[in-house]
Chains A and B, each alone.
Chain A
Amino acid sequence: MTDAIFPLVFGSEELRLLTAIGLGFLFGFSLERAGFGNARKLAAQFYFHDMTVFKVMFTAILVAMVGLYSLSAIGLLDMSRMWINPTFMWAQIIGGFMLGAGFIMSGLCPGTSVVSAASGRWDGLVTFGGIFVGSFLFAVFMDWFPALGSLYNGGSLGESVLPTLLNVPAPLFVLGVVVAAGAAFIGAEKVERIFQQRHDPVELAPKQTWQTPRYKFAIAGALVVVALIATGATAPSLERPGQPMREMTPLELAQEIIAGDPNLVILDLRPSSDSTAGIPGATRVASDSVVQQLLSSAGAAARVVVYDDAGSLRLTVQGWPRDLDYRHLTGGLVGWRSEVVTPAEPTGYGTEEREFIAWQNQIAAFFSGAAVRPSTVAAPPVIAGGPKKKKKKSMGC
């Protein structure tokens, strides 16, 4: 049981959305300063005389990859809560090739066209406009040609990552990518030098002082060291346990508690050092034997909900009675506090959203009220299902 603090859990979606402005700003600023607002500089990548695209992109991938896998290895990051691009092999192979063709025509990719347009370039603005048209054409073609739909969903591997697919320990794979990229950087510098004799580099190339090999090798060295530390740590696992436990959302659990289901068993698996109050009716358990005792006396119809602090729990139910209905609480106690105990702020989106919030607040009142004034617990509010809230999708690029 690790206490993974990343990815951060936000009290409200608004707060999470707010981070997008700052992080987007840094993204756009770095792209601009790298020279990616200039179509000529990007296009030069494909004529070998300015390999900036390759160098910037792979350095960024290395830094983020080493960071992700190291933090995951030492237990600070829970990869199972990360949104990982699902693999659709055929769609991504064909789409990638097409995007490359569009890239060299425009001299820009979708992200850099935004930066290019923002820095005043008409070709950037026109490219960005073209992307809207292309996305629309895709939507229309999906209706007209069923074959496109099969391509779109072709070669699905789900949330597949290369170390798992190739059965290589993740730290070793990460280290391999770092070494391979280091070799590719040296190659890119050589290629550039050969081709720059025939073409002038795109204007405003960085000054030579920054390009001393010492500087480059310092960065490469630092990355390798971090990768080695990651190798020493335990291998991160992206896989769900063999017999995965299904999830139950805090609001679902709240309804079950209010309904007073006698077969409901709630297990609090937080470390005993955490002395804050848990979910009403939960049993605090310290060891596996206590759990087994409790569960064997619970009867066959028992429905078991487990939670820890932040929902980072991933348990196999090995050793526990197999035929019970196990769930783990989405977001753990943190999720419970933010979704159930804290009243929701009205955001003013449509009647359904308001109904949902009113319903959520009814639940919040029940639990916070019951905890504060135990003598005045009235009849539980009539909570019949409530409007359904669907899982948020974050798809696309």
Chain B
Amino acid sequence: MKAKPYWNPYLAGVLLGLTLLATFLIAGQGLGASAFPKRVLATVGNEIAPEWTAANPSLGIYLEDDSNPLRNWLVIEVVGVMLGGLLGALSAGRFKATVEKGPRISRNGRLMYAAGGGVIMGFAAALARGCTSGQALSGGALLATGSWAFMMMVFAGGYAFAYLVRRQWT
């Protein structure tokens, strides 16, 4: 089966924007992604090294209210994102176990880059208190000052390093 084409970017943007607006109106907060890893880490840390985790300035905040750190809107939302992504890909005939890469790089080389980028982004999102979803998109719509600074710097960082990693894509 031939995959369906992607949506027009402006149409996709409108639907994404309406989803984001509905999130603000219903839940009183924006969408996010990087709270999920941090809350999972806080949960696991609480099992393995409860004292260290509770005292850690980055993870301890999720244990302060004595309830399960995974019992959280953003955590459940990410589960919804997984389901939405899966169904979106399946229904468009786009689900495929593969690695997205350009022709000039090996599969493992590409996966190394992906992992490295993930590590950097995990660190960066923890530092900035959010990622492209929670800061740039959600904070951007609220016109939050730090979120706009963050968004500009994401584009700056991407363009700054694009030349160095071009082997992956073209």
Give residues in A with beta carbon < 8 Å to B: 6-8, 16-17, 19-35, 37-41, 43-47, 51-52, 55-65, 67-69, 71, 77, 81-89, 91-124, 126-139, 141-143, 148-149, 151-152, 157, 159-163, 165, 170, 173-174, 177, 185, 199, 204-207, 210-211, 215-216, 219, 349-350, 352-353, 389-397
Q: How far is the CA of A11 from the CA of B65 in the complex (A)?
A: 20
Residues on B with beta carbons closer than 8 Å to the beta carbon of A123: 99-101, 110-111, 114
Distance from A334 Cβ to chain B, minimum over Cβ atoms (Å)? 14
Query: Contact between B88 and A29 (Cβ–Cβ < 8 Å)?
Result: yes
Say whether B26 faces chain A, with CB atoms less than 8 Å apart: yes
Give residues in B with beta carbon < 8 Å to A: 3, 5-41, 45, 52, 56-59, 61-62, 64-68, 71-89, 92, 94-102, 110-111, 113-162, 165-166, 168-170
Q: Which of A24, A44, A82 has the most CB of B within 10 A?
A: A24
Closest chain A residue, CB of each to CB of B107:
A122
A92-B149, A99-B154 are contacts. A132–B122 as well, Cβ < 8 Å? yes
Query: Contact between A100 and B22 (Cβ–Cβ < 8 Å)?
Result: no
Residues on A with beta carbons closer than 8 Å to the beta carbon of B121: 98-99, 102-103, 106, 109-110, 127, 130-131, 134
Q: How far is the CA of A17 from the CA of B86 in the complex (A)?
A: 21
Residues on B with beta carbons closer than 8 Å to the beta carbon of A165: 145
Query: Contact between B131 and A111 (Cβ–Cβ < 8 Å)?
Result: yes
Residues on B with beta carbons closer than 8 Å to the beta carbon of A137: 119, 122-123
Distance from A168 Cβ to chain B, minimum over Cβ atoms (Å)? 10
A27-B31, A99-B154, A126-B115 are contacts. A32–B144 as well, Cβ < 8 Å? no
Task: Offer 29 A-B interface pairs, CB within 8 angstroms, sorted by A.
Answer: A21-B79, A21-B80, A23-B22, A31-B16, A32-B89, A33-B15, A60-B16, A81-B28, A97-B124, A99-B124, A99-B132, A100-B158, A102-B117, A103-B157, A104-B158, A106-B114, A109-B121, A114-B33, A119-B86, A120-B97, A130-B117, A134-B118, A135-B34, A135-B37, A135-B58, A210-B8, A389-B65, A390-B66, A393-B61
